[in-house]
A and B are shown apart, each in its own frame.
Chain A
């Protein structure tokens, strides 16, 4: 843990020196003594982490000095040490915001030691929290999200505008396009960034539990509700609630969600109390909600309520060179995290990545790059190290644009692979002559 700066304000030199000695037994404590209130209030002093204050100083009374110190250094814990044992004094000081109150007696140094250790832990936690917050802010900074393609630039522009207000944002896009990342970026770049970001995947929660998950429940509301529990709306109070796969929500629950969004209040399952919630809502779905409305699976009023700012994330295959930018980004991050030397993609590997159609989008790209990094011994990832999903579908085979002859070759290659290069079996299944296949193999039109 880093050094903790402690100011001891004590007019009794003997006692001050005694405290300094004991506090300095922990080499991480840096202790400075001040013999009067005037000395500590003079300018030019660094902000301390902890102050111990003698209540009875000759130049200024304890309460006034406590208040002055609080104004000077906000949120610095001040431990008052006093010879007075009156409970009323202690209560008064604690009400005024003193961190603790210790009477000068045989246990003073031990109590002070324990209090300071407690504060040290809190300071450590606070520092850790600030570091994590800074990391999160950096991670979701718009400038750090990779994407140079015009379509992504337009999306970043919309997200920046969305982050400035509390408008509901609806994010659509294929699986793996980064809908949750976009939602987090909106949250961490908004004024709510220091408040909770709560994500709920509607599709991942059983239908009968979703209501209590969102709105909470009172003790005894249903079998198994052994205690009162807050729902996600309450957890996200003042922050952002991200409802992923909103299209999967049961139509009966949609009316309750609509009410929560319109009235900004909820009622826990089994409860009567109306609870006010201030929540910014972001929703995402891979479904076409307007189609779902037409099909009667989604309430029209909720659809319009949720529409807000629509952001449609493009599939990776439509993002051109972003594929390579993302691949390089994932590769660098993975190598750094795993203490591997830096690796790069060969031209052939890059071409292979650009020619693939990425059904799993960015999520799939990341997995493939990480696997390729593991499989590569040297510092160059070759085309052979880039292995797409083994369970190749026929739709994948014919995805790339080509001629009928190209498709024929690919289909035969696909079936040969599937049936262990058994030409007879493939010929039978595709209803083509064996000799046709043998000829194509001989002419290197297909690879076996």
Chain B
């Protein structure tokens, strides 16, 4: 059995998150512009797993809330979604700094 704590793995996951999340942010912004709550819900659903793994718990609950609104109720909470993107971008900046 290998050791579970693996710095290389953590760095790899952070890099992967930094690389893939901007695409998700773009999708969220497009969904807001096009007023497609289901697509927004799907993106929130996908990004939620990554946030959970990285233990960014406050964003997990926000993503869950926005996913439910978009998928189940067909609603986009613009203000909350923008706040979500803002916090997510702050996290991304910190990660980029960590990785550099």
- Which chain A residues have a beta carbon within 8 Å of chain B's beta carbons? 12-15, 17-18, 21-22, 24-27, 56, 83, 104-106
**Cβ-defined contact, A21 with B9, below 8 A:** yes
Q: Please report which residues of chain B, range 34-50, place their CB below 8 angstroms from some CB of chain A when the two chains form the complex.
A: 42, 45-46, 48-50
**Cβ-defined contact, A25 with B53, below 8 A:** no
**Cβ-defined contact, B13 with A17, below 8 A:** yes
Contacts of A56 in B (CB 8 A): 42, 45
Interface size on B (CB < 8 Å)?
Answer: 19
**Cβ-defined contact, B1 with A83, below 8 A:** no
- Which chain B residues have a beta carbon within 8 Å of chain A's beta carbons? 1-4, 6, 9, 12-13, 16-17, 20, 42, 45-46, 48-50, 52-53
Would you mind naming 17 contact pairs between A and B with Cβ atoms under 8 Å apart? A13-B16, A13-B20, A14-B50, A14-B53, A15-B53, A17-B12, A17-B13, A17-B16, A18-B13, A25-B1, A25-B4, A27-B1, A56-B45, A83-B46, A83-B49, A104-B48, A104-B49
Contacts of A25 in B (CB 8 A): 1-4
- B2 touches which one: A15, A17, A27, A106 (CB < 8 A)? A27
| Known contacts A13-B16, A14-B17, A18-B53; A83/B45 CB under 8 A | yes
Contacts of A15 in B (CB 8 A): 49-50, 53
Q: How far is the CA of A285 from the CA of B56 in the complex (A)?
A: 77
| Known contacts A21-B6, A25-B4, A26-B1; A105/B16 CB under 8 A | no
Contacts of A106 in B (CB 8 A): 52
**Cβ-defined contact, A12 with B12, below 8 A:** no
Q: How far is the CB of B59 from chain A (nearest CB, A)?
A: 14
Q: How far is the CB of A231 from chain B (nearest CB, A)?
A: 47
| Known contacts A17-B13, A106-B52; A24/B2 CB under 8 A | yes
Contacts of B52 in A (CB 8 A): 104-106
Q: How far is the CA of A13 from the CA of B16 in the complex (A)?
A: 8
Contacts of B13 in A (CB 8 A): 14, 17-18, 21
Contacts of A17 in B (CB 8 A): 12-13, 16
| Known contacts A21-B9, A83-B49; A14/B16 CB under 8 A | yes
Kindly list 15 other residue pairs between chains A and B, CB separation below 8 angstroms, not including A14-B13, A17-B12, A21-B13.
A15-B49, A15-B50, A17-B16, A18-B13, A21-B9, A22-B4, A26-B1, A26-B2, A27-B1, A56-B42, A83-B46, A83-B48, A83-B49, A104-B49, A106-B52
